[in-house]
Chains A and B, each alone.
Chain A
Amino acid sequence: MSTSTRFGDRRGTIAAAVTALLLLVGGVLVAKALTGPGAPPQPDRAQGTQATRDAAPTPGRSATSRPTGSSTPSPAAPSSTPGPDFGPIMGPSSPVSLVIPSIGVRTSGLVDLKVDRNGKLEAPTDFARAGWYAAGPTPGEFGPAVIGAHVDSKSGPAVFYRLGSLKKGAEVSVLRRDGSTARFVVDRVARYSKADFPTATVYGDTKGRAELRLITCGGAFDQSTGHYVDNIVAFAHLTS
């Protein structure tokens, strides 16, 4: 400003103004690129990245449940025994909200998800909502309940943006329509290529345990398809 007033040159003033504008816009863009949300976090190796493939999906041998001691079924139980130990199991009731304190997820109004013609589970159409596989078990029931949400929209982070940074031992709560809360603890978080997705590990048998799968996208984003190439999956089991 002082330059232009001192020399009183109109073209100089315009050039200076253009310079200022370029500096401003350029600077903002660079700052945004550097400090902005950036690429979503990915699970680290220690969480079990891609290490657990299901080579042959034998029923009951899926790698999903890794009970730490308590849920080993008692073989050939005589009539007086309590029977197999599945851990806590809740009755059916659909989920209404999801809370994951450690990664700041607090979302309500879960939408119903169904499988598409190719058998793939459809993502929520709304980037601001999580969805659950409504034909499967409700969270807290027997088997693997599935909740999926977007990692980002076209413009910024979405519900499961930070799912990749979720850690083993983290708590996940699902409030259900009947007023009860299903509390889960995370067993592991893994990243899988969509082209080689371990269907049986993620959606398969849990040996009776009530478990939860949280799914979002990960890895590289392919501009030509408009999709990420990987999925991030968090595995959790019901504690109460």
Chain B
Amino acid sequence: MRTTTKIASVALGSAALLPFLGAGIAQAADGSTMATLRPVALNGVKGSGTAMVTVTGNRINVTMAANGLLPDNPHAAHIHFGADARHECPTASDDKSGDGTLNTTEGGPAYGGIVVSLTKTGDTSPKSGLAVDRFDTAPGGKIQYERGSITVAPEVAQAIVDGKSVVVVHGVDHNNDGKYDGATKSDLDPSLPTEATDPAICGVLAAAPAGGMDTGAGGTSTGTNEGMLALGGGLLLAAAGTGVLTARKARNRA
């Protein structure tokens, strides 16, 4: 009797949980993306970083942290996207000039053009792509960046959510002399050395995980144990029954 009540209560308990299961988590369209920023091939940067971009309609919020960059020099940072780009960070084979380094143009086939300029203040359009006075200067080689409510074109918002955009932080020091210099001019702005605009660290913005994980099969859950307890109890009761029977038979015989 007690066993029955217990089983019934267990069954009722799990039935009560049922309504909540339908309310799934699958909100992939919440548009939260993350990029792990790693050194760009060939450019000799030891740094790394992380960027998060949350898309809400045509607005994005961006946070970024990085280290290992050339300290106290402006680091242009952008979100890149090109419909016909590979949507990835450039590799050594993108060094079309064969000079042993990758400049921003050489990275184009991998990550596309600039679609958002991650400036600290003011305009964030591609026009501000080289607004060196409004980018982080990486004190101590580190960047901590946060900017909310940047308006982007619908196709850019979509590209970010779809994992097709790439965060690139520019500015390297090929000759390790602590400043942007060298004879080679920037492919983007001939008034700057190429060191000032070459890509330093890079990462593809991919959908961050959303919702929980299904990490258990229930082998130790309370429900199973209750079942075991109920079954064991039932068997013990049955044993009592057969035991009584045996004893009675024995007495009758005697």
Contact = CB atoms under 8 A, between A and B. Distances in A.
Interface of A: 3, 7, 9, 11-12, 15-16, 18-20, 22-23, 25-34, 36-40, 57-60, 73, 77-79, 81-84, 86, 89, 91-92, 115, 118-123, 127, 133, 135-137, 141-143, 146, 148-158, 160-161, 192-195, 197, 199-200, 203-208, 215-217, 220-231
Nearest to A39: B222
A89 B236 contact: no
Given A34-B229, A142-B49, A83 B140 contact: yes
Among B14, B17, B216, chain A packs the most CB atoms within 10 A around the CB of: B216
A143 B209 CA distance: 13
Contact of B139 (A57, A81, A141, A193): A81
Contact of A26 (B21, B37, B238): B238
Given A92-B36, A152-B216, A84 B62 contact: no
A86 B68 CA distance: 12
Contact of A197 (B63, B72, B146, B212): B212
Contacts of A127: 217
A38 B246 contact: no
Contacts of B231: 26, 29
Interface residues of B, number: 82
B228 interface: yes
A110 to B, nearest CB: 14
Interface string B119-156: 00000000000000000011111111010100000000
Given A82-B139, A92-B38, A204-B52, A40 B23 contact: no
Contacts of A59: 52, 54, 61-63, 146, 148
Question: Which 3 pairs across A and B sit closest by C-beta, in order of nearness?
Answer: A29-B232, A83-B140, A26-B235
Nearest to A227: B214
Interface string B20-44: 1101111110101010111000000
B218 interface: yes
